[in-house]
Structure 1
Amino acid sequence: MNLAGKVAIVTGGVSGIGLATAKAFLLKGAKVIIADFNEEGGQQVEQQLKQDNGDVTFVKVDVASEASVEKLVATTVKQYGRVDIMVNNAGVGVLGVTHELTYEDYHKVISVNQDGVFFGSKHAIKNMLEHGDGGVIINTSSVLGSVGEGGAFAYNASKGAVNLMTKSLALQYAEHKIRVNAVAPGYVESGMVSKEALGDFYDALVDKHPIGRLGQPEEIAHAIVFLVENEFVTGSTLMIDGGYTTQ
């Protein structure tokens, strides 16, 4: 797929992997809707990217709400006429031993990480079927969708579900030229995942990656661009994890 002129929605697009992906799409000539719950940050990012001549719009969204996601897609279609690419990237995590995990904490992770993929995929695919030219769904999973980690019960559950949701959607919609793939990052540098924020725990995270460092958001974004552009890939979850899952 040639991204020039294509219309892409990126949830969780204000920071980290989402922002890096939005920038990568813009460099390829795509039109990008940055969707995020962080309204102030979203407006700032929109203005910054417009200064670089990017065709970009911020839309506030709560991916745990189907009505909010449906409105996001409708807003995109109203402005740009269609949806070609949906990147279901927004996510949250809660750490803690399972017997102390509240249902509210558990449900928050599932509603954002899992339900958000369902709502985003459902409403993007509806438009893709309407315009009839196919499209691409990319889901942000995690290495923790394939391997367990103590204290990450809800996150493990949500990302494992994303991997199988990706396969199921890919099978359902292949005949309609709608491809569905996922990326599964290892730990990625961000404001909350940094030496300054985590102290000695940061070094423990680095040790989990045989390559000897954490990932950068741009490295995940490049993989997302690859999965969008390569028209022979569907139903795959691409590990981008510095060797984390090889052990």
Structure 2
Amino acid sequence: MEVNGKVALLTGGVGGIGKCIARALLENGASVVLFDLNNEKGQEFKQQMEAEHGKGRVHFVSGDVTKKEDLERAFKETLEKFSYLDIMLNNAGIGDEKRWEDMININWVALVRGSNEALKIMSKKAGGKGGVIVNTASIAGLMAYTFGPIYAGTKSAVVGFTRSHGA
């Protein structure tokens, strides 16, 4: 997929995988909205990416992906800043079996909400011009993962959800 000139919203945008995704998008000409809970790291990474790729192509939104109003604000700010959304990347995630309810809410519920919000904007059936939704899963979603059964369950849900929408 050609990303030059596209606008992407990236949850979990300042963590390890998120940073790599953001860099790749920016290096290939996309504009990126980073959505993450960590405001300090988010502002720092935004400034770093602007220094490398130019001002105006990176926007940071601080918020909690599990809070509907925060996620809706990320979409609102994306549209205000860039006028459209072409790529939704549901990347936020954790792997902590002791925080299993948080894990379900971050890895699964927020991903579904993010996908549904993106569809409202991008779906041709809803008057949008189309786009792409990318959901970060894990190999643990495809096989037994005895060290993290709840984590594997959330990632299995991501795989099934993504495949079903893709079909």
Partner deviation per Cα, 1:21-40 (whole Å, 9 max, x = no partner): 10100011101001110000
| Alpha-carbon distance in structure 2 between the residues aligned to 1:93 and 1:47 | 28
Contact 2:27 2:53 (C-alpha < 8 Å) held by counterparts? no
Partner deviation per Cα, 1:200-243 (whole Å, 9 max, x = no partner): xxxxxxxxxxxxxxxxxxxxxxxxxxxxxxxxxxxxxxxxxxxx
| Alpha-carbon distance in structure 1 between the residues aligned to 2:127 and 2:70 | 22
Tell me, which stretches of 5 or more residues in structure 2 are unaligned?
none
Q: Considering only aligned residues, what root-mean-square deviation do their CA atoms show, in Å?
A: 1.3
Contact 1:11 1:34 (C-alpha < 8 Å) held by counterparts? yes
Aligned to 2:155: 159
Q: For 1:107, which of 97, 101, 108 is the aligned residue?
A: 101
Amino acid at match of 1:11: T
Aligned to 2:110: 116
Matched, 1:84 2:86: yes
Amino acid at match of 1:115: V
| Alpha-carbon distance in structure 1 between the residues aligned to 2:95 and 2:2 | 34
With the length of structure 1 as denominator, give the TM-score of the two structures: 0.63
With the length of structure 2 as denominator, give the TM-score of the two structures: 0.92
Contact 2:26 2:53 (C-alpha < 8 Å) held by counterparts? no
Aligned to 1:33: 33
Amino acid at match of 1:153: P
Q: For 2:65, which of 63, 66, 85 is the aligned residue?
A: 63
| Alpha-carbon distance in structure 2 between the residues aligned to 1:145 and 1:132 | 31
The list of structure 1 runs, each at least 4 consecutive aligned residues, that deviate by more than 2 angstroms after superposition, is 129-132
| Alpha-carbon distance in structure 1 between the residues aligned to 2:20 and 2:34 | 11
Aligned-pair CA distance for 1:131? 5.3
Identity across matched positions, percent: 39
Aligned-pair CA distance for 1:18? 0.7
Aligned-pair CA distance for 1:88? 0.5
Aligned-pair CA distance for 1:94? 1.4
Contact 1:82 1:131 (C-alpha < 8 Å) held by counterparts? no
